[in-house]
Amino acid sequence: MVLKERNFTEQDCHLYIISLVSKMPNLFCQMVKKMILILLTVIIITYCIHPGRFAHYYTFIKEEDMVHELEESPLAQKLSETSGLPLCPWHILNESSYSLLYPKKNVTQCDLNELSVKLDIKLGGTWKPSNCVSRFDVAIVVPYRNRQTQLEIFLLYMHSFLQKQMINYRILIIEQVEKKDFNRAKLLNIGYIEALKLFPYHCFIFHDVDLIPQKQNNIYACTHQPRHMSSSLNTFRYNLPYRGLFGGAVAILKSQFELVNGFSNMFFGWGGEDDDFQSRINHKGLSICRFSPRVSRYVMLTHSKELPSETRFSNLLAGKNRYDVDGINTLVYTVRNSTFKPLYTWILVDI
């Protein structure tokens, strides 16, 4: 009886082992299937909720070629001859170290008050090198409303950043009065017109107040083609979310801005105006360029995300027929205040 029982158990055990081994490939397959499913779900969720998503590879100007791509001011050479001062050197472009710059976040009033004296900034937030003639005359136009803390961080950081690049620049803050939804594009058009009343700038940089350039060799000057400057942004994990992105910080020559008739004035609320601008540029046969992701690194100062405008897509579609009849040639606005502040030119507008 005992022997019978032992025989049975052994046989049973063998059978069990054989059945387990025969099921193994099946179990393994099921496990792999489950893992793939989980991985796919994670990828889809990440893609949907994170705007940085995955890298869109793009062609860019190599660091050693940047110098050949820059557009010098038509005034520079002549000014150098008449003043006897040499043109400023290019050394900043060779500053291609890996070190990244960061802004000071807790800016005090004292920091700001000291800045204009320390950096010799002229009233209206303008500066130019004193011992050489700058190769670039640039208006930095910043659309603005209700971002006081960011503005202070931006100003403290940008003045010394730009001065190291030896640029003849002015920072213009174009503030929209309350009432309507924010119209970033229209404010940029206004900044363009107002800047030209002060100086014949040949190059314009349209810049969000929450963006801080991290590489000193990301030169704030125009290239032969309009340039998307902030293509490597921390909030996008230093990736480009889509190839046509032309927002944040962009540089464009005066002649090119005239050619594309500036921005559309019709985009109220968040989103789309930069995409429309990019289409305008392509429509006129220009193409956007970028510096390398290593050079174009930016950090975005934190703030709550704006609610996207509901009309942005329909506006974008309709925009295609409006390039020549909506832009700087149809710009209407009222200046409510215009003041040369110590660190910037402030223009308050009703649009």
Q: Name which of 78 and 283 has its Cβ closer to ligand NGS.
A: 283
208, 142 Cβ separation under 8 angstroms: yes
Q: Name which of 16 and 313 has its Cβ closer to ligand NGS.
A: 313
- Of 98, 233, 92, 96, the C-alpha closest to 165 is 92
Work out whether 275 is an interface residue with ligand NGS (CB under 6 A): yes
Angle value at C-alpha 185, between 184 and 186, nearest 5 degrees: 95
CA atoms of 288 and 225, how far apart (whole Å) = 6
* Smallest separation, CB 169 to ligand NGS (Å): 24
83, 128 Cβ separation under 8 angstroms: no
The window from 20-28, 42-50, 139-147, 267-275 that contacts ligand NGS (CB under 6 A) reads: 267-275
Cα atoms in the Cβ-side hemisphere of radius 13 Å centred on 277: 30
Q: Which one of 274, 290, 291, 297 is in contact with ligand NGS (CB under 6 A)?
A: 274
* Smallest separation, CB 313 to ligand NGS (Å): 6
Angle value at C-alpha 168, between 201 and 196, nearest 5 degrees: 20
Q: Name which of 131 and 304 has its Cβ closer to ligand NGS.
A: 304
Q: Name which of 247 and 262 has its Cβ closer to ligand NGS.
A: 247
* Smallest separation, CB 306 to ligand NGS (Å): 8
Q: Name which of 60 and 267 has its Cβ closer to ligand NGS.
A: 267
- Of 256, 250, 258, the C-alpha closest to 230 is 250
Which residues between 31 and 70 bind ligand NGS (CB under 6 A)?
A: 51
Per residue in 250-287, is it b (16+ CB within 10 Å) or e — as a string? bbbbbebbebbbbbbbbbbbebbbbbbbbbbbeeeebe
* Smallest separation, CB 136 to ligand NGS (Å): 26
CA atoms of 271 and 56, how far apart (whole Å) = 20
* Smallest separation, CB 320 to ligand NGS (Å): 14
Chain centre distance of CA 110: 29
* Smallest separation, CB 100 to ligand NGS (Å): 20
Which residues between 298 and 317 bind ligand NGS (CB under 6 A)?
A: 308, 312-313, 316
Work out whether 269 is an interface residue with ligand NGS (CB under 6 A): no
* Smallest separation, CB 246 to ligand NGS (Å): 8
Q: Name which of 199 and 323 has its Cβ closer to ligand NGS.
A: 323
The window from 91-99, 112-120, 266-274, 330-338 that contacts ligand NGS (CB under 6 A) reads: 266-274
Cα atoms in the Cβ-side hemisphere of radius 13 Å centred on 249: 29
* Smallest separation, CB 76 to ligand NGS (Å): 33
339: enclosing H helix or E strand? strand 334-340
Q: Name which of 229 and 343 has its Cβ closer to ligand NGS.
A: 229
> Which residue(s) pair with 291 in the sheet?
61
Q: Where are the alpha helices (DSSP H) in the chain?
A: 2-49, 66-69, 76-83, 109-118, 148-164, 184-198, 254-259, 273-283, 312-319
Q: Name which of 189 and 217 has its Cβ closer to ligand NGS.
A: 189
Q: Name which of 74 and 308 has its Cβ closer to ligand NGS.
A: 308
Work out whether 210 is an interface residue with ligand NGS (CB under 6 A): no
* Smallest separation, CB 108 to ligand NGS (Å): 29
225, 288 Cβ separation under 8 angstroms: yes
**Pairing status of strand 232-233 against strand 168-176:** unpaired
Residue nearest to ligand NGS (CB): 271
Q: Which one of 143, 191, 247, 319 is in contact with ligand NGS (CB under 6 A)?
A: 247
CA end-to-end span of the chain, whole Å? 102
- Site size toward ligand NGS (CB under 6 A) is 10
Using CB under 6 A as the criterion, which residues of the chain lie in contact with ligand NGS when the complex forms? 51, 247, 271-272, 274-275, 308, 312-313, 316
